[in-house]
Amino acid sequence: MVHKVAGPEIERLISLLAKLPGLGPRSARRAALHLIKKRESLLEPLAASMSETAQKIEICSNCGNVDVLEPCAICRDERRDHTMIVVVEEVGDLWALERAKVTKARYHVLGGVLSPLDGITPQDLNLNQLIERARTNSVCEVLLALNATIEGQSTSHYIMEQLAPCNVKISQLAHGVPVGGELDYLDEGTLAAAVKARKEM
Amino acid sequence: MVHKVAGPEIERLISLLAKLPGLGPRSARRAALHLIKKRESLLEPLAASMSETAQKIEICSNCGNVDVLEPCAICRDERRDHTMIVVVEEVGDLWALERAKVTKARYHVLGGVLSPLDGITPQDLNLNQLIERARTNSVCEVLLALNATIEGQSTSHYIMEQLAPCNVKISQLAHGVPVGGELDYLDEGTLAAAVKARKEM
């Protein structure tokens, strides 16, 4: 229990800021002071931006992405590849792939991974919609771009089984040495995968 | 230049969040996603709290504290000690002293420290009001609780000179070994101060 020293309005702001990932009680207090100091240049625009986002944001009914458009801008974009669906766990993973500009395909956001210990079952994920999308004629390949964690990999296997009746190629991201990575710092699993999947030069 | 992947509304939210102390571009993106996921429990309340704070917050004309009341709750509180003023650099320092519950005195927030290199002169600080307050009959002591930095200490000396004509005792925080501190980790300046100000047991 932290001793309250500012007024209730400021304390409420601090306690809400402390719920953001990456901010603890101490840094939330610093952030609140910073906001109060920069009332016109930061506090007011941020309040307006949050309120606008809260009003306008939609979850895309096709792929699970978040956007102010429904369907989202990626699903609407006719220039994107109709033949491949890239399956990711969270919207943040979609953003990471978009930043890297590595694919022109469309996405499918699962909204998590299977985790029996946390009670997350296939019903909790955006899976039925994926199977429906994979059944459409234009789709030839589903790339499972889930995290290389135990949950991510077992979810990949589950999805692979579910997609078996659909007439699509199923792929997953390659494992190996990260570009710029030093062998000395890599775990045995990564090194084993990199050796196994070695390429002739 | 970061590649924009979300819509302009979300990108704007991310770039505003990235201006908070403690959040960089990557953690701002994570924070934005977290807010979008928790629209009802976090995004909407935080937007409302920020907008309320932006509308209601005032800088106390007496002491420079921030509060929704003017004068602030501390200056209004008749139970507080009228005889001492504790001078601090920033509102965060006032909060730290209030959390520690070490004084029932009132405060005076300078809003910074003298720093010729950064162009911060006495005119930029809340100093005239301090001298006026120190002249009132009820005030007997001014405690300079500035940070133990070069700027903090030289500002303390400047304030001491300015307050010389007022009939008040001027004090500063004691230097020494922090409670729970290990000698091995302390700098020479702190150790020298602790030895010089040693106390008989």
Report pTM: 0.80
In this predicted structure, the answer to whether residue B7 has a pLDDT above a threshold of 90 is no
pLDDT in tens, A134-145: 999 899 999 999
| C-alpha atoms less than 13 angstroms from C-alpha of A118 in its C-beta half-sphere | 8
pLDDT in tens, A33-59: 999 999 999 999 999 999 999 999 999
User: A143-147, A194-198, B133-137: which has the minimum mean pLDDT?
Assistant: A194-198
State mean pLDDT over A163-176: 91
User: What percent of chain A is predicted at pLDDT more than 70?
Assistant: 98
In this predicted structure, the answer to whether residue A17 has a pLDDT above a threshold of 50 is yes
What pLDDT does residue B45 have?
96
State mean pLDDT over B27-41: 94
Average predicted confidence (pLDDT) for chain B? 91
In this predicted structure, the answer to whether residue A3 has a pLDDT above a threshold of 60 is no
**Contact list, B54 vs chain A (CB under 8 Å):** 39, 43-44, 47
Interface of A with B in 63-122 (CB under 8 A): 66-69, 73, 90-92, 94-95, 98-99, 101
Q: DSSP of chain A, one letter per residue?
A: -PPP-S-HHHHHHHHHHTTSTT--HHHHHHHHHHHHHTIIIIIHHHHHHHHHHHHH-EE-TTT--EESSSS-HHHH-TTSEEEEEEEESSHHHHHHHHHHT---EEEEE-SS--BGGGTB-GGGSS-HHHHHHHHSTT--EEEE---SSHHHHHHHHHHHHHHTTSS-EEEEPPPSPPTT--GGGS-HHHHHHHHHT----
At B4, the pLDDT band (50, 70, 90 cuts) reads low
How much is the ipTM here?
0.80
State mean pLDDT over B132-153: 93
State mean pLDDT over A100-110: 92
In this predicted structure, the answer to whether residue B114 has a pLDDT above a threshold of 60 is yes
State mean pLDDT over B108-128: 94
According to the CATH classification, is domain A8-56 in 1.10.8.420? Answer: yes
Q: Which residues contact A18 (CB under 8 A, 6 or more apart)?
A: A24, A25, A28
Q: Tell if the CB–CB gap between B3 and A98 is shorter than 8 Å.
A: yes
State mean pLDDT over A83-103: 92
pLDDT in tens, B96-108: 899 888 899 999 9
Interface of A with B in 6-65 (CB under 8 A): 6-7, 9-10, 12-13, 16-17, 19-23, 27, 29-31, 33-36, 38-39, 42-54, 56-57
Q: How many pairs of residues across A and B have Cβ atoms under 8 Å apart?
A: 159
In this predicted structure, the answer to whether residue A77 has a pLDDT above a threshold of 80 is yes
What pLDDT does residue A154 have?
94
Q: Tell if the CB–CB gap between A17 and B66 is shorter than 8 Å.
A: no
According to the CATH classification, is domain B66-200 in 3.20.20.140? Answer: no
Q: Tell if the CB–CB gap between A30 and B92 is shorter than 8 Å.
A: yes
User: A104-113, A164-173, B1-10, B134-143: which has the minimum mean pLDDT?
Assistant: B1-10
Nearest C-alpha in A relative to B19 = A42
**Contact list, B31 vs chain A (CB under 8 Å):** 20-23
Residue B89 bridge partners (DSSP): none
In this predicted structure, the answer to whether residue B1 has a pLDDT above a threshold of 60 is no
Question: Domain extents for chain A?
Answer: 8-56, 66-200
Residue with the bigger pLDDT between B189 and B144: it is B144
Q: Tell if the CB–CB gap between B10 and A34 is shorter than 8 Å.
A: no
Residue with the bigger pLDDT between B108 and A26: it is B108
